[in-house]
Chain A
Amino acid sequence: MRELISPLIANMQITPEQLTEHGLSEDEYKKIVLILHREPNMTELGIFSVMWSEHCSYKSSRVHLKRLPTKGEAVLQGPGENAGIVDIGDGLAVAFKIESHNHPSFIEPFQGAATGVGGILRDIFTMGARPIAAMNSLRFGSLDTAQNRHILEGVVGGIASYGNCFGVPTVGGEVYFADCYSQNPLVNAFALGIFEKEKIFFGRAEGAGNPVIYVGAKTGRDGIHGATMASAGFGEDASAKRPNVQVGDPFMEKLLLEACLEAMEKGLVTGIQDMGAAGLTCSGCEMGARSGTGIELELDRVPQRESGLTAYEVMLSESQERMLLVADRDREAEVLAVFHKWGLDAVTVGAVTDDGLLRVRQSGKVVAEIPNVALADEGPVYNRPLMPPAKPRVGSKLAGYSFLDGCPDRTVEAFLDADRNPGQHDYSRLLRLALTSPNLCSRRWIWEQYDHMVGSNTMVGPGSDAAVIRVKGTDKALAMVLDGPAFEAARDPREGARLAVAEACRNIVCSGGRPLAATNCLNFGNPEHPDVMWQFSEVVDGISEACVLFNAPITGGNVSFYNETFEEDIYPTPVIGLIGLIEDLSLVTTSAFKDEDDSIVLVETNSRSERIDLEEERVLQNLVSSLIRDGLVKSAHDLSEGGFAVAVAECCFSTPDRPVIGARVRVPSNLEVCRDLFGERPTRVILTSRDQDQVLRRAREHGLMAHELGRVGGDRLVLEYENDSAVDVEVAELEGAWRSALPGLLENKSPFE
C-alpha cells in the first residue's frame, strides 16, 4: 500500500492503518492530497473522513438519487437543505424530513433512538419551523429473543422520552418484524414543522466579517466518529462502539427550540444549521460551501464539557443539542442575550470570511485549513457495480400473504394448509391468528407511550390510515403517513417501492387529503455488494415512477447503507414519508366504521394481479377523493397486509370516540376462500356510506369494480362466504386478543392458544 501512495506523497505522515481506521480508501486519500497540495494532518484527516463518509457524502447513492423527481408546484425547497419545504397556502409552509438512526439504536437502543428524534427535530426548527408532528418507522428482529425485546423496549422508550419531553406529538408510524433486522434494527424518525413561508431560514454563512455563533450544549467526547460508524457494518465488536453513541437531552433541545425561534422572530439570524452528524465540521463547511464563503473557527472559545479536548475531538464530536448560526455583526449582542435568557451557552467562535476556507485555530495556531467546497460538495462519487441476485431473497413463504413472513411457523403452516386445501377450515381461528401475529397485531402498547396529543392539533392519532393534524388559524389539516413495504421489496425491490408510494398516497386519500410531497429513508445493506446496489437502483426507479404519477415530489430524505451484521444484508427497506393537504376540516375521514346500518362497499380494480397497476391505482384514488369531497363517505380504509378480513376487523375495533362495533359482510368470492379472506392485492378500499347506490354507480363510472358487502352494526363480525358464515366472532373479544398480542410477545408469552 505504501508503495502505491508514495509516488504522490514523498514522506507520508499518515499510515495505512490510520486510513483504514478512518474508513478512507487509498484513492480517497490521494484526492485529499491533491486538494490540499500537501498531506493532511490528523485533524484534517478526521474532518475529511467524516465529511466523505457514506453517511454525509452519499457517495454511493448520489448517482442514483439524481433520478428522483424533486420539483413540484408546492415545493419551496427540495433536497440539499436541512429539510424539504412545501407551500400549504394561507401564507404557510411546512418543513419535513425523515432520517435514520439505525446503527446507534442497535448499540444503545434508548439513547440511539432518542438522539435520532432529537436530530430530526433540529433539522426542522433550524429552518425556522416549529415542529408540530413526529412519526417513526421501526424494524426489529423476531421478539422470540430477549435481545430483540430489549432493543424494541429501549427504542420505544427513547423515542417517547425525547419526543414527550420536547413537546412534539408522535402521531403515527409503522413497525415490522423480520429476522434480518435482528442484529440491525431500523429506526427512522420523521418530523414536520410549520411556519410562515416568508420566514424560512437556511444553512448559509453570508457576509464576510459576520460572527459565527455556537449555541446550545457543551461539546464533549461523545459521538466522535458517529458518521463513520454509521458507514460500516457491525461485526463482533459492536458493543465496543457504545461510546460512539451520543446521549440526548430533550430539555436542552426544547430550550434551544424556543431560543432559536425567538432569535429568528426578532430578525437576528442570517443563517443557521444544527450540529448533527460530523458536528461542528459539517455545519461549518456546509454553511460556507452553500454561500461560497469561508469559515474561521477558534476552538478555544467552543464551550467544552471537559478539559483537554484536542482539535480533532472538538471538530468531530457529535454532542447533541448544538447549533451554529451566523448573525449580522451589528446584532451579535442581541443574539447572545436571547440565548442567555433561555439559560443556554452562546459564544462567538469565529467569523465568516471571503476565502472559501474552513480555517480552524487552536491555541493561536492553525490546526486545519481546507476548502469548504471540497468537504461539502467534492467528496468522492461512486458508480458502484450493480447485479441482480441469482434468486430473489424471500420466497419461501406464501406469495400474496406478506404478513406471514414475520409469523411463527405454526401460523404459517395453518395458512399454507388453508390455502392449498380449500374446504373446511376454522376461518375465525385463522383471522385470530392473523390479527395476533407480530406484523398485524395492535401497536397500541407502543404508541400509548408516545404523547400523541401535545400541541392540541391531533385530529387523528395513531391507528387510522394516516395521522391528521389541524392547521391552527385555517380550516385546513395535514395528513401524514409512513409506509415501507414490509416484505415485497425483498422479493422485487422496484415493485416494493411502487407499492409503498401507492399505499402511502392511498392512505392520504382515504383520510380526506391529496398528496403534496414526500420524503424518503432508504435503508439498505452493504453498497459494496453488487446485489445491494442493484436493489437500491431498482428502488429509486420504483419510487421515481410512482412519485411522478401521484404528483408527490421527493423533497429530501436520507440514505442508510451498511445495514448488515456478520455480512448479512438487511432486506432493502425504503420508507416513504408522505404528507397531504386536507382542504377543509369537514373532509377528514378515518378508517373506523361509524354508525349502525351504514352500508359497506368494497371498491377495487378489475385486475386480480398481485402487481400494482399505477394508472388504475390513480383512478381509484381519484374516485375516493371525489366521494369524500361530495360527502358520501363515512369511513375509508385501504386493504393492506392481511387482506380483506383483517381490514374489515380493523374497521370494527374501538376508537377514542366509540366502542367496538360489529358488521355483517359478504366476502367477494373468487372461489379461493383463504386467498379471498386474507390474500393481499393492491388498489382496494373499503368505504362506508349512507348512500350506497351512488357510491356503486360512481365507482362503475370510473371503470372500477364495486361490491355491496353489507351493513355496520351489532357486536359481532360476521363474514359470509358463498352463503356460509366463514367467520363469526365477537368483536370485543377479537379486539382484546389483537390488542394484547404485542404486550404478550414482549413478555414472551404466546398471544394465542
Chain B
Amino acid sequence: MKFGVVVFPGSNCDHDCYYAIESVIGKPVEFIWHQDTDLAGFDAIILPGGFSYGDYLRTGAIARFSPVMGSVREFALKGGLVIGICNGFQILMEAGLLPGALLPNIGMKYVCRFLHIRTETVTTAYTNALEKGQLVHIPIGHGEGNFFTDEETLKRIEDEDQVAFRYVNAEGEPTEAANPNGSLHNIAGIVNENGNVLGMMPHPDRSSEGILGSEDGKLIFDSMVHALTVV
C-alpha cells in the first residue's frame, strides 16, 4: 500500500501530509512532483493544502492545469482514492472532479481555528472508521472555503449521500454560528458520486496526534487504510 502526496509549486502542507502518513499512520508514502504523470504503484493520492501557484488567481485555478492532474483524473476515474485537503479540495473542484465552488469566506478573512465537524456518511473509503453523527475535532485554515453550488446540485449531493462532513457546534448542531465560512448547508467536505474522491476544507493532517490538540483526523486516514486493505 503506497500513498502519494502531490507537490504543486506553492503547496505548503505537503510535508505535513507526508509526516502524517509515514510517522503517524505508518504507511509508505512518496512525494509526486506536479510535472510527473506516472502514478503507477500508488494506491491513494493526497492533494495537500497550501497556495498552489500563489493562488493569486482563483484558488486552484492554475494548479488544475499541472501535468499531474491529467493522471489524477484517470486515477480517480478508475476508482483510485484521491483526497484533497484545503487547497487540494479547491483544486479538485477546479478540475471538475467534485461539484460546486469554494468562494471567499463570508467574513472576507482567512480563518484558522479548531472547530467540530459531524460525520454525515460512513459508507465512504474516508469515513468507514467513524460512526454516523460522530463529531471530529479538527482545525481549518483558509480564506476561500465557502462551499457553494446551484440548488439542483445541492439537492443531488444531499440526496445521494455525498456530504461527508458538516460544520457543527460542540453539541453537534449545524448552526449558523458553527459555520466558519458561510458554506451552504454547513458543508465541510463532500465525496464524488462513486465515493472514491473526497474534498474537505478541515485538516486531518493537523489533527492526527494528541499533542497537536486532536487525533480525530487520524480516523480519516485510518479509514483509507482500511478501505485499501479490504480491497
Cβ–Cβ < 8 Å partners of B54 in chain A: 165, 249-252, 254
A448 within 8 Å of B (CB atoms)? yes
Within 8 A of A (CB), among B5-40: 9-10, 12-13, 15-16, 19-20, 23
Cβ–Cβ < 8 Å partners of B23 in chain A: 472
Contact status of A450 and B112, CB under 8 A, knowing A254-B10, A472-B19, A656-B213: yes
A452 within 8 Å of B (CB atoms)? yes
Q: Is the CB of B212 within 8 A of A459?
A: yes
Report the stretch among B91-99, B184-192, B203-211 that lies at the interface. B203-211
B53 within 8 Å of A (CB atoms)? yes
Q: Which of B109, B114, B212 contacts A456 (CB 8 A)?
A: B212
Q: Is the CB of B12 within 8 A of A656?
A: no
Measured CB to CB, the closest approach of chain B to A236, in angstroms, equals 33
Q: Is the CB of A166 within 8 A of B12?
A: yes
A343 within 8 Å of B (CB atoms)? yes
Measured CB to CB, the closest approach of chain A to B60, in angstroms, equals 14
The distance in angstroms between the C-alpha atoms of A239 and B203, with both chains bound, is 42
Q: Is the interface of B mostly helix, strand, loop or mixed?
A: mixed
The distance in angstroms between the C-alpha atoms of A453 and B49, with both chains bound, is 12
Q: Is the CB of A656 within 8 A of B114?
A: yes
Contact status of A449 and B170, CB under 8 A, knowing A251-B51, A254-B12: no
The distance in angstroms between the C-alpha atoms of A542 and B12, with both chains bound, is 41
Q: Is the CB of B109 within 8 A of A167?
A: no
Within 8 A of A (CB), among B63-109: 109
Q: Is the CB of A165 within 8 A of B55?
A: yes
The distance in angstroms between the C-alpha atoms of A250 and B212, with both chains bound, is 26
Cβ–Cβ < 8 Å partners of A458 in chain B: 212
Interface bits A644-680 vs B (CB < 8 Å: 1, else 0): 0000000000001101000000000000000000000
The distance in angstroms between the C-alpha atoms of A251 and B9, with both chains bound, is 8
Contact status of A451 and B110, CB under 8 A, knowing A167-B12, A456-B19, A456-B205: yes
A180 within 8 Å of B (CB atoms)? no
A74 within 8 Å of B (CB atoms)? no
Cβ–Cβ < 8 Å partners of A304 in chain B: none
Q: Is the CB of A167 within 8 A of B206?
A: no
Measured CB to CB, the closest approach of chain A to B10, in angstroms, equals 5
Measured CB to CB, the closest approach of chain A to B91, in angstroms, equals 15
For residue B139, which residue of chain A has the nearest CB? Answer: A453
Cβ–Cβ < 8 Å partners of A449 in chain B: 109-112
The distance in angstroms between the C-alpha atoms of A657 and B113, with both chains bound, is 11
Cβ–Cβ < 8 Å partners of A585 in chain B: 211
Q: Is the CB of A255 within 8 A of B20?
A: no
Measured CB to CB, the closest approach of chain A to B3, in angstroms, equals 16
Measured CB to CB, the closest approach of chain B to A376, in angstroms, equals 34
Q: Is the CB of A251 within 8 A of B13?
A: no
A455 within 8 Å of B (CB atoms)? yes
The distance in angstroms between the C-alpha atoms of A459 and B209, with both chains bound, is 10
Interface bits A465-502 vs B (CB < 8 Å: 1, else 0): 00000101000000000000000000000000000000
For residue A153, which residue of chain B has the nearest CB? Answer: B109
The distance in angstroms between the C-alpha atoms of A342 and B209, with both chains bound, is 32
Cβ–Cβ < 8 Å partners of A659 in chain B: 170
Q: Is the CB of B13 within 8 A of A167?
A: yes
Measured CB to CB, the closest approach of chain B to A268, in angstroms, equals 19
Measured CB to CB, the closest approach of chain A to B32, in angstroms, equals 15
Cβ–Cβ < 8 Å partners of A632 in chain B: none
Q: Is the CB of B141 within 8 A of A453?
A: yes
A160 within 8 Å of B (CB atoms)? yes
Q: Is the CB of B113 within 8 A of A448?
A: yes
Measured CB to CB, the closest approach of chain B to A13, in angstroms, equals 45
Q: Is the CB of A251 within 8 A of B56?
A: yes
Measured CB to CB, the closest approach of chain B to A46, in angstroms, equals 32
For residue A254, which residue of chain B has the nearest CB? Answer: B10
For residue B15, which residue of chain A has the nearest CB? Answer: A455
B50 within 8 Å of A (CB atoms)? yes
Q: Is the CB of B12 within 8 A of A453?
A: no
Cβ–Cβ < 8 Å partners of B16 in chain A: 454-456
Measured CB to CB, the closest approach of chain A to B15, in angstroms, equals 7
Contact status of A456 and B213, CB under 8 A, knowing A165-B51, A251-B56, A449-B112: no
Cβ–Cβ < 8 Å partners of B113 in chain A: 448, 656
For residue A656, which residue of chain B has the nearest CB? Answer: B114
A725 within 8 Å of B (CB atoms)? no
Q: Is the CB of A451 within 8 A of B141?
A: yes
Q: Which of B9, B114, B143 contacts A255 (CB 8 A)?
A: B9
Measured CB to CB, the closest approach of chain B to A134, in angstroms, equals 13
Within 8 A of A (CB), among B100-156: 109-114, 137, 139, 141, 143
Most B Cβ at <10 Å: residue of A255, A342, A451, A458: A451
| Chain A: number of interface residues, binned into ranges | 20 to 34
The distance in angstroms between the C-alpha atoms of A458 and B65, with both chains bound, is 33
The distance in angstroms between the C-alpha atoms of A679 and B174, with both chains bound, is 44
Interface bits A63-86 vs B (CB < 8 Å: 1, else 0): 000000000000000000000000
For residue B33, which residue of chain A has the nearest CB? Answer: A341
Most B Cβ at <10 Å: residue of A164, A249, A342, A459: A164
Measured CB to CB, the closest approach of chain B to A242, in angstroms, equals 22
For residue A445, which residue of chain B has the nearest CB? Answer: B109
Q: Which of A160, A166, A472, A588 contacts B110 (CB 8 A)?
A: A160
Within 8 A of B (CB), among A559-615: 585, 588
For residue A160, which residue of chain B has the nearest CB? Answer: B110
The distance in angstroms between the C-alpha atoms of A213 and B112, with both chains bound, is 38
The distance in angstroms between the C-alpha atoms of A112 and B170, with both chains bound, is 39
Contact status of A164 and B10, CB under 8 A, knowing A249-B54, A453-B206: no
Q: Which of B50, B55, B114, B137 contacts A167 (CB 8 A)?
A: B50
Q: Is the CB of A250 within 8 A of B51?
A: yes
Measured CB to CB, the closest approach of chain B to A322, in angstroms, equals 17
Q: Is the CB of A164 within 8 A of B141?
A: yes
Within 8 A of B (CB), among A241-278: 249-252, 254-255
Most A Cβ at <10 Å: residue of B10, B53, B112, B211: B112
Cβ–Cβ < 8 Å partners of B206 in chain A: 453-454, 456
The distance in angstroms between the C-alpha atoms of A398 and B109, with both chains bound, is 38
Interface bits A430-449 vs B (CB < 8 Å: 1, else 0): 00000000000000000111
The distance in angstroms between the C-alpha atoms of A84 and B116, with both chains bound, is 40
Within 8 A of A (CB), among B136-182: 137, 139, 141, 143, 170
The distance in angstroms between the C-alpha atoms of A464 and B15, with both chains bound, is 26
The distance in angstroms between the C-alpha atoms of A147 and B208, with both chains bound, is 43
Q: Is the CB of B9 within 8 A of A164?
A: no
Q: Is the CB of B213 within 8 A of A251?
A: no
Cβ–Cβ < 8 Å partners of B15 in chain A: 455-456
Measured CB to CB, the closest approach of chain A to B68, in angstroms, equals 15
Q: Is the CB of A459 within 8 A of B12?
A: no
The distance in angstroms between the C-alpha atoms of A457 and B15, with both chains bound, is 11
Cβ–Cβ < 8 Å partners of A451 in chain B: 110, 112, 141
Most B Cβ at <10 Å: residue of A166, A343, A448, A459: A448
For residue B35, which residue of chain A has the nearest CB? Answer: A341
Measured CB to CB, the closest approach of chain A to B205, in angstroms, equals 6
Q: Which of A251, A447, A656 contacts B53 (CB 8 A)?
A: A251
Cβ–Cβ < 8 Å partners of A459 in chain B: 211-213
Q: Which of B111, B203, B213 contacts A657 (CB 8 A)?
A: B213
For residue B56, which residue of chain A has the nearest CB? Answer: A251
Measured CB to CB, the closest approach of chain A to B173, in angstroms, equals 15
Q: Is the CB of A164 within 8 A of B110?
A: yes
The distance in angstroms between the C-alpha atoms of A331 and B206, with both chains bound, is 39
The distance in angstroms between the C-alpha atoms of A470 and B50, with both chains bound, is 21
The distance in angstroms between the C-alpha atoms of A249 and B214, with both chains bound, is 33
For residue B7, which residue of chain A has the nearest CB? Answer: A258
> Given known contacts A254-B51, A448-B112, A585-B211, what 9 new A-B pairs fall within 8 Å (CB)?
A164-B112, A254-B54, A448-B109, A448-B111, A450-B112, A452-B112, A454-B16, A457-B212, A470-B212
Q: Which 6 A-B pairs have the closest CB atoms?
A: A167-B12, A251-B54, A456-B16, A656-B114, A165-B51, A451-B141
Some 20 contacts from A to B, beta carbons below 8 A apart, are A164-B51, A165-B55, A166-B12, A251-B51, A251-B54, A254-B54, A448-B109, A448-B111, A452-B112, A453-B203, A454-B49, A454-B141, A456-B19, A456-B208, A456-B212, A459-B211, A472-B23, A656-B213, A657-B137, A657-B213
